[in-house]
Structure 1
Amino acid sequence: MTDRLFSDRRDAGRVLAGPFTQTADEEVRRLLRAAASARAWAPPARTDLAVLRSELVPVRDGVPSDEVPFQIVGDARFVLIGEASHGTHEFYAARARMTRRLIEEKGFVAVAVEADWPDAYQVNRYVRGRGDDASAEEALRGFARFPTWMWRNADVLDFLGWLRERNERLDERARAGFYGLDLYSLHRSADEVVAYLEKVDPGAAARARDRYSCFDHSDGDDGQAYGFAAAFGAGESCERRVIDQLVDLQRNALRYQRAQGLLGEDEFFHAERNAAVVAAAERYYRTMFGGRVSSWNLRDRHMADTLFALSEHLGWQRSEPARIVVWAHNSHLGDSRATEMGARGELNLGRLVREHNRGDCRLIGFTTFAGTVTAADDWGRPAERKNVRPALPGSVEELFHEAGHKEFLVGLTRSAGAADLLRGARLERAIGVVYRPGTERQSHYFQTRLSDQFDAVVHIDETRALESLERTARWERGEVPETYPVAV
C-alpha cells in the first residue's frame, strides 16, 4: 500500500487527476465538469479554429524564430518553462534552446529545476568550473534514484556542455548556475550538512550527526519508511531535531562564511539549503500518509521557498536582482487557481511565484497531441518507450491539433481572441514519470482554463520519447501496439 501511495504522490498525472471529493468548492468543480462535458461531444467549432489560427506564432524545433518569446518575457525576473510529460525529447530540447537565449541575451543567471538540491548542486559545481567531475555525464551521476531519465538524458547533457563552455569564458560572478528545488533527498542532504560542518566546525558536525541519527531507525533510504512510522505513531518523530539543526546552522552563518570568502558564501548557502531540505522532507514524508493535498502543497511551498532564497542569494552576490529560469512539469508551473487541482485546495509553484512577484514572472507551458514518451508502468519500474494516445475530445490538445499546424506558440496575455477562447474550461493532459494509457482519462487528464493557467503555450503536435543516457533493450524495443496480434 505504501508503494502505491508513494507513487501517487510523485506522479504528476495521478496527483492531478484523482476523482473529485466533496468540499466547499463543489460548485466550482461542477461548472468545470459541465463546461468540459459540453465540449467533449463535438469537434472544435470553425470559428474557434479561425480565431486560433489567426493568432498562433509559427515555431520550429519548439522555439519561434522571431522576437515573440522576448516580448512575452519582457523584463520578468522569473520565467517558468514547463513540460506536459517528464519524458518528451521536444519539451526538453525546446526549453533548453529558450534558456540559452535568456542567459545569453537577457542576463539570466540560474536554471532552477524540479530536482533534488544536492544532485543538482553537483551539476552546478561542474558548470561553474568548481567540481571534481571531468564531464557533464559524470556530474549527472548524482541522479542515481528513480526516475534517472528525467535528468540523465541526452538533451540535458547537451545543455550542460554548452553552459560549462559558456561559463569558462566569463569571470566567476557572471557565470550561470544550475540548482534543484525539490525535497526528496532527505538522507543525502543530511550527509551534505555533516560534510560541510566537518570542514568548518567539527564539533557542530558531531551534533548534526547525532541529530540526524534519528532517521537511522527506519528502514530504507528514501524517507518513506520513516514517514510511515512517524505518521502512525510507530516510530520517533525527528521534527524537533531537524529544526534545531537548521537554526543552529543559520545562527553561525557569518562565522562560517567569513572563513572562506566568496566560495564560502556559496558553500554555506549549499549547506543551509540542504538543512532546509531535511526539515521539509521530514514534514513531507510524515504528511504524505495523511492526504495528498497537504503533501502536494508542502512540496510546492518548499520549491517556492527555495527559489526565493536562491534569488535573494544570487541577487546579493551580484548587487542586482537575479533573473532565474525554472524547469518543471506543467502541473507545478501553471497557475493552479485555473485548474481542477486548485478547486480541490492544491496550490503550486506557479501560483506562489505569481502571488509574490505579480507582473515580474512568466509561465510558459507545453502540450502535445500524440507520439511516444519515456515513462514507467508504475513508480520504481523500468523506463519504457510508450505510445502516447491521441488526445481526448474536448481537450486543449485536440483543439490545437485541429488547428492544422505541427508546431506553434499561442500568447495568452496580449491576444484577446485566443485568450478568450482558451479561458473556457477544457481538459489538459499531464504525464509524469508514470504513464497508464488504460486509465488515461482518470490518471492523466484534468480540467483547466488555459489562459489563466499560463502566459503562453507551445504546442508540438507529435513528439518522441526522451533518450536516457542508459538506454535499455526494453526501451529500444518500445511498446507493443494496442492492435497486437490483430495487426500482425
Structure 2
Amino acid sequence: MQRSTTFSQLFIALILMISCAKKEETEVLSPQDTIELKLIKELEASLLPLAGADPSLPGTDLSFFSPLGQAKIVGMGEATHGTREFFQMKHRLFQYLVEKHGFRIFAFEYDFGACLILDEMLQTGQGSMRDYMQQSMGFWTWRTEEVLQFFQWMQDYNRNKPVDQKIHVVGVDCQMMQYGIPQLVKMLQQYDPNYAKSVNERLGSLAKNSLYPGATFSTIQSLRSPVLPKLNEVGRELQERANNIAKATSPAYNQQIQHLFQTLTQAEIVQYSLVITPDNGIIFREKYMSDNTSWIFEQYGNVKIALWAHNEHVANNDRYSNISTPSQGGHLRNKYGNEYQVVGFSKASGQFSVVNLTSKRLETMTVSAPLKPSINYLFSLAKEKNYVLKISDLQAKPNWQQHLASPQPFLSIGAGFDASQVDAFFRAIPLDRYYNFVIHFNQTTATKLL
C-alpha cells in the first residue's frame, strides 16, 4: 500500500514538472523585456569591474583609463554632491593620473582665493588641513572626511618633491568674495603694505558671501551703485601697477594677483545677474569657470589638469540647465576638442548628503531604486555592481547605439533634493555626447561631514 502511494505521488510530481516546463516554453517575453535583455548582455560585454572606491586600493584596475593620459584636461563629475564613493573614486582616479600620466593640477569647483590658501598648505606641508577645512571651508559639499583624505594625500605626495613635480590645487569657481578679498590684501602686502591697507579700506566691506542679500529687480541697481566704483577703481590700479608688482615680487605672483581680482569681478557679475535674470547668472558662471580653468595654462604652462565638479558642470553639454549656454565642460570641449575628456558618475540607489528642500536642513537622504526607464536602472541590472564603461565601446553595440540615439533619463542631484519628486531628478541626456567614461556604483553611502 505504501509503495502504491509513493508511486502515485511521484507520478503526479512528474506531471506537474512537465506541465511547468511546457508553460515556461510557451511564455513569450514582451518586446520591452527582450530589448532590456539585449541591452544588459551588451552592457556586460563592455564594462570593466572596479575593485572599489577606497583610495588605498592598488591602481591595477584603473589601466582602463590610460587613454586619459593623452588629454590636457580631464573632467571628473559626480551625480550628487554628497556621495562617499564618488569622492573616493575621484581621489583614486586623480592619484592614478598623477602617478601614471604626469597630471599636476587639481582644478576644483571652489573659490579661487580660498584655494590659494589650500595650495600654500600643499606646497609647504605646513598647517593642519583638518583644522583649516573645519574652520574656513565655506561649502558643506567639500567639508567632508573624503575631501580631507584627498587633500592630505596631496600634501603627503608633495613632501620632498622638487618644485616642478609638486601637485597644485586651483579654484575655478566664482560665486563669492568672502575669501578672495582678504587673500588679495594679504598678497598685496608683499608688494606694498600701504597699498594693501588702502585696498582693504575700500574693498574690505565687500568680503562676504552675498553682496546683495534680499535684492530684487527693483532694488539691485541701488545696491550695486556703491560696489562697482570701488571694484573698478582697484581694478584699474592693479593694471597700472602690474609691472611694478611683478618686479617687486615675481611675474607669476603678479599673475595670481591679477587673476584673483578678476575672479572677484566675476563673482560680482554672477551675483548681480542672478537677481536680474537667473539664466544669465548661470550663463556667466559656466563661462567664467571655463575661462578660469583655461587660465591655469597661463600660470603653470604645459601641464595636465584634472577638473573636479558636478556631472552637469563637466559634461560636454551645449545647453546647461536647458538654457542656451554650454556648460563649463561644453566650453572646454569647444576650445580643446578631444583633448578635453569627461568621466561621469552613476549610481543606482543608496544614501547621500544633501539639503532637504522640504526641511531646508542638511541631511542624509536616500534614493531607494532608480527610475525604471533610466540609464541608472539599466546599469543596475549588470552582474557587476561597481564598474567603469568607455562610452564609445558601449555606443558601438547595436542595441545601445539605437537606445542612445535619443536622450535617456540619468540621475542628477545637486546641493538640494526633494524626496517627494525623485523622478524630477532623472534628467534626459545624450549620454554618449556628454561623457567619455562613466563610473557606476550600484549602492552608495553618504559623505562623512567634518
**Are 1:136 and 1:160, in contact at CA under 8 Å, matched by a contact in 2?**
yes
How many Å apart are 1:457 and its aligned residue?
A: 0.5
- Cα distance in 2, alignment partners of residues 85 and 246 from structure 1: 37
Q: Choose from 406, 426, 436 the match for 2:418.
A: 436
Q: Choose from 343, 350, 367 the match for 1:364.
A: 343
- Post-superposition CA distance 1:43-88 (Å, at most 9, x none): 66222222222111111214770521112x1411101110000100
Quote the residue 1:136 is aligned against: 129
**Are 2:181 and 2:204, in contact at CA under 8 Å, matched by a contact in 1?**
no
Q: Choose from 55, 62, 67 the match for 2:46.
A: 55
How many Å apart are 1:379 and its aligned residue?
A: 10
Question: Aligned ranges for residues 321-360 of structure 1 at < 5 Å?
Answer: 321-337=302-318, 341=320, 343-360=322-339
How many Å apart are 1:307 and its aligned residue?
A: 0.8
**Are 1:214 and 1:236, in contact at CA under 8 Å, matched by a contact in 2?**
no
Question: Aligned ranges for residues 268-417 of structure 1 at < 5 Å?
Answer: 268-315=254-301, 321-337=302-318, 341=320, 343-378=322-357, 381-415=360-394, 416-417=396-397
- Post-superposition CA distance 1:107-135 (Å, at most 9, x none): 1111011111222222111111165x2x2
- Cα distance in 2, alignment partners of residues 254 and 230 from structure 1: 41
Quote the residue 1:46 is aligned against: 37
**Are 1:375 and 1:435, in contact at CA under 8 Å, matched by a contact in 2?**
yes
- Cα distance in 2, alignment partners of residues 232 and 405 from structure 1: 53
**Are 1:192 and 1:271, in contact at CA under 8 Å, matched by a contact in 2?**
no
| Residues 1:157 and 1:130: Cα distance change in structure 2 (over 3 Å) | closer
How many Å apart are 1:259 and its aligned residue?
A: 2.1
Which amino acid in 2 is paired with 1:332? H
Aligned pair count reads 410
Quote the residue 1:94 is aligned against: 89
| Residues 1:102 and 1:221: Cα distance change in structure 2 (over 3 Å) | closer
**Are 1:301 and 1:348, in contact at CA under 8 Å, matched by a contact in 2?**
yes
Q: CA RMSD in A?
A: 2.6
- Post-superposition CA distance 1:335-385 (Å, at most 9, x none): 123x6x465313211101101101211111000010000112149944211
Are 2:59 and 1:70 aligned?
no
| Residues 1:234 and 1:453: Cα distance change in structure 2 (over 3 Å) | same
| Residues 1:105 and 1:376: Cα distance change in structure 2 (over 3 Å) | same
| Residues 1:465 and 1:209: Cα distance change in structure 2 (over 3 Å) | same
SS in structure 1 at match of 2:124:
coil
| Residues 1:85 and 1:224: Cα distance change in structure 2 (over 3 Å) | farther
| Residues 1:419 and 1:115: Cα distance change in structure 2 (over 3 Å) | farther
**Are 1:57 and 1:408, in contact at CA under 8 Å, matched by a contact in 2?**
yes
- Cα distance in 2, alignment partners of residues 228 and 119 from structure 1: 29
Q: Choose from 244, 256, 279 the match for 2:245.
A: 256
| Residues 1:109 and 1:66: Cα distance change in structure 2 (over 3 Å) | closer
- Cα distance in 1, alignment partners of residues 71 and 258 from structure 2: 27
For normalisation by structure 1, the TM-score amounts to 0.77
Quote the residue 2:4 is aligned against: none
Larger Rg: 2
Question: Aligned ranges for residues 115-194 of structure 1 at < 5 Å?
Answer: 115-129=110-124, 133=127, 135-141=128-134, 143-145=136-138, 147-148=139-140, 150-194=141-185
Which amino acid in 2 is paired with 1:110? I
| Residues 1:350 and 1:450: Cα distance change in structure 2 (over 3 Å) | same
| Residues 1:379 and 1:231: Cα distance change in structure 2 (over 3 Å) | farther
Are 2:432 and 1:445 aligned?
no
SS in structure 2 at match of 1:368:
strand
**Are 1:389 and 1:437, in contact at CA under 8 Å, matched by a contact in 2?**
no
Which ranges of structure 1 fall in alignment gaps of 5 or more residues? 1-40, 316-320, 470-488
| Residues 1:403 and 1:422: Cα distance change in structure 2 (over 3 Å) | farther
| Residues 1:140 and 1:271: Cα distance change in structure 2 (over 3 Å) | farther
Quote the residue 2:25 is aligned against: none
- Cα distance in 2, alignment partners of residues 66 and 196 from structure 1: 40
- Cα distance in 2, alignment partners of residues 452 and 198 from structure 1: 47
**Are 2:176 and 2:209, in contact at CA under 8 Å, matched by a contact in 1?**
no
* Greater CA drift, 236-245 or 174-183: 236-245
Percent identical residues: 19
How many Å apart are 1:401 and its aligned residue?
A: 0.9
Bigger RCO (CA 8 Å, 6+ sep): 1
For normalisation by structure 2, the TM-score amounts to 0.84
- Post-superposition CA distance 1:430-482 (Å, at most 9, x none): 1112121112223x23210100010110111111001112xxxxxxxxxxxxx
**Are 2:212 and 2:220, in contact at CA under 8 Å, matched by a contact in 1?**
no
- Cα distance in 1, alignment partners of residues 365 and 91 from structure 2: 23
Which ranges of structure 2 fall in alignment gaps of 5 or more residues? 1-30, 54-58
| Residues 1:252 and 1:376: Cα distance change in structure 2 (over 3 Å) | same
Which amino acid in 1 is paired with 2:173? D
